[in-house]
Amino acid sequence: MVVTGRSVVLALLAVGAVLVSGQISPQVTAAALSVVAALLALDVLLAASPRAMRLTREGDTSVRLGESAALSLVLHNPTRRPLRGRVRDAWPPSAHVEPRSAAPAHVVGGEQRRFGVTLTPTRRGDARAAGVTVRAIGPLGLAGRQRTLSAPWTVRVLPPFHSRRHLPGKLSRLRELEGQHTAMVRGQGSEFDSLRDYVRGDDVRSIDWRATARNDGVVVRTWRPERDRRILIVLDTGRTSAGRVGDTPRLDHSMDASLLLAALAGRAGDRVDFLAYDRRVRAQVRSGGKGSQIQQLVSAMAPLEAALVESDPAGMAGTVMAQGRARKLVVLLTDLNAAALEENLLPRLPTLTSQHLLLVASVRDPAVDAMAEERGSPEALYRAASAERTLADRRRVTVELRRMGAEVVDAGPEHIAPALADAYINLKAQGRL
């Protein structure tokens, strides 16, 4: 049951009536209270039943972080009474639903009305509708009924994929490799692609003399990089991935970089698998076949949150090994944390690198670099020294990883995605995949 401001006014009128009643006050009080109670009860009874309302939703089911999702809520009033009141569509605070206040609703019996809702989520993951509260006020406007109805809907908030802007540039580098570039630069790959007519500018060394002899014109051989290679992106979702670099957790920077890599690899014809791991598998995407699985990947990443546990690189290596014996590029996105990696990952590294090519990518924290430059006070010096110590640890792990045959990409949050893409393109150009 709900009451309105009008009911308060009514009760104050009753106060006035009793004040001027004089000797018959007790009787007037009883009568006034009865009238107020009766009117409120009547209004509650005459209000449309909120429980009878039928709710349906339609609209976006996913949205990129930072963008807005448009939803609509259709309220159908199957009763014969008109629904007067308010409708509130409740979402978690981080979904930033607009309009924020409850919409006034007036739905004639048997009809329906559409309420538009805009979500601009500020957190990645699944935003779930909490329920729709319908408040129906009676014809007198004194009181009414209220009920929260369930109208489930989930909007999956996807990683923003800011590094998309690097995609055209990296794709054109990739096309250079494939010999499809507009400048017709010969492909650098090692796999034979096709024969085509010679055009001026082609490297004379690429002329296929045997084919030329069989044809009218001069024919050149084109090369292309290997295709159908397998890439496994492993995302460390452990404790260290929760740390914020700038305003964003390290995990989100890693996701951004993995998405660019996956998009690029998908275009290059490689197959991308995905694994999120801390002490157990948090998410996994297996490539069904050729082509881009970027949608699957994005959707698998969306609900991932950093788990506040120490990662288990040994278990991670085991899981990777269990994925199959076929050689693949394993891209591990983690923090170059000396303690964790040296103890757990390095001992397992030889088995891993003997079968696969390992690429470790890590987001470097510019705050630590800035700390290393601090001078001026004893405190600043200690901070600088501590930062130097962190950087030295990272260098040590990097050197160790490289010595054991792994590739390491260590770049700031702005550059990690293009740097990882470049590393991939370079590996491809060298035919090391």
Partner 1 sequence: MSTPDAGWRRVWRSVRIPGAVLVALVVVAVLVSLGDEQFPQGHMEPGSVDPTGGRALVETMREDRDVQVVRSAADAEETLGEIGGDAVLAVFLDHRMEPGEVRALADLEVDTVLVQPTLQTLNEFAPGVDMSGRTESDETLDAACDLPAAEAAGPADVAGEVYEAAPGQAATECYAAAAGSAVVQVEHGDAATTVVGTDHFMTNTELPDEGNAALAMNLMAAEDVVWLRPEPHVPEDSATMAELLPQGLRWAAVPLAAALVLLALWRGRRLGALVPESLPVVVRASETTEGRAGLYHSRRARDRAADALRAGFLDRVSGKLGLRPDDPPETVVSALAARLGEDPARVGALLYPDHPDPYAGDDEALNRLAEELDERSRRLR
Task: Restricting to residues 26-55, name those near partner 1 by CB under 8 A.
Answer: 26, 28-29, 32-33, 36
325, 374, 331, 375: which is closest to 351 by C-alpha?
Answer: 325
Half-sphere exposure of 34 (CA within 13 A, CB side): 6
Distance CA 210, CA 223 (A): 16
Taking CB under 8 A as the criterion, the residue among 91, 115, 161, 274 binding partner 1 is: 91
Candidate ranges 61-69, 110-118, 156-164, 243-251; the one touching partner 1 (CB under 8 A): 243-251
103 part of the interface to partner 1, by CB under 8 A = no
Strand intervals (E) in 261-406:
271-277, 281-285, 329-333, 357-363
What is the residue type of 97? V
230 part of the interface to partner 1, by CB under 8 A = no
Structure tokens belonging to residue 308:
């506040």
Structure tokens belonging to residue 122:
């500020």
281 part of the interface to partner 1, by CB under 8 A = no
Q: Which is nearer to partner 1, 123 or 279 (CB)?
A: 123
CB of 6 to partner 1, least distance (A): 9
Q: Which is nearer to partner 1, 269 or 303 (CB)?
A: 303
Distance CA 369, CA 413 (A): 12
Query: Binding-site residue total for partner 1 (CB under 8 A)?
Result: 74
Q: Which is nearer to partner 1, 208 or 365 (CB)?
A: 365
70 part of the interface to partner 1, by CB under 8 A = no
CB of 312 to partner 1, least distance (A): 19
Q: What 3-state class would DSSP assign to 88?
A: strand
Half-sphere exposure of 86 (CA within 13 A, CB side): 13
Taking CB under 8 A as the criterion, the residue among 54, 389, 402, 432 binding partner 1 is: 389
365 part of the interface to partner 1, by CB under 8 A = yes
Q: Which is nearer to partner 1, 318 or 412 (CB)?
A: 412
289 part of the interface to partner 1, by CB under 8 A = no
100 part of the interface to partner 1, by CB under 8 A = no
DSSP β-ladder status, 281-285 and 271-277:
antiparallel
Taking CB under 8 A as the criterion, the residue among 39, 195, 242, 321 binding partner 1 is: 242
The footprint of partner 1 on residues 115-144 (CB under 8 A) is 123, 130-133, 135
Taking CB under 8 A as the criterion, the residue among 395, 405, 431, 432 binding partner 1 is: 395
Q: Which is nearer to partner 1, 170 or 250 (CB)?
A: 250
What's the Cα-to-Cα distance from 380 to each of 213, 342, 369, 374, 427, rounded to whole Å? 74, 29, 13, 5, 41
* CB neighbour list of residue 147: distance below 8 Å, 6 or more residues apart: 50, 51, 133, 134
Distance CA 23, CA 221 (A): 115
102 part of the interface to partner 1, by CB under 8 A = yes
195 part of the interface to partner 1, by CB under 8 A = no
Q: What 3-state class would DSSP assign to 29?
A: helix
150 part of the interface to partner 1, by CB under 8 A = no
166 part of the interface to partner 1, by CB under 8 A = no
CB of 367 to partner 1, least distance (A): 4
Q: Which is nearer to partner 1, 301 or 330 (CB)?
A: 301
275, 360, 289: which is closest to 320 by C-alpha?
Answer: 275
* CB neighbour list of residue 176: distance below 8 Å, 6 or more residues apart: 183, 185, 187, 188
Length of the chain, please?
433
Distance CA 330, CA 312 (A): 16
Are 268 and 225 spatial neighbours (Cβ–Cβ below 8 Å)?
A: yes
216 part of the interface to partner 1, by CB under 8 A = no
Candidate ranges 23-31, 202-210, 321-329, 350-358; the one touching partner 1 (CB under 8 A): 23-31
Distance CA 283, CA 277 (A): 7
409 part of the interface to partner 1, by CB under 8 A = no
Taking CB under 8 A as the criterion, the residue among 306, 345, 397, 406 binding partner 1 is: 306
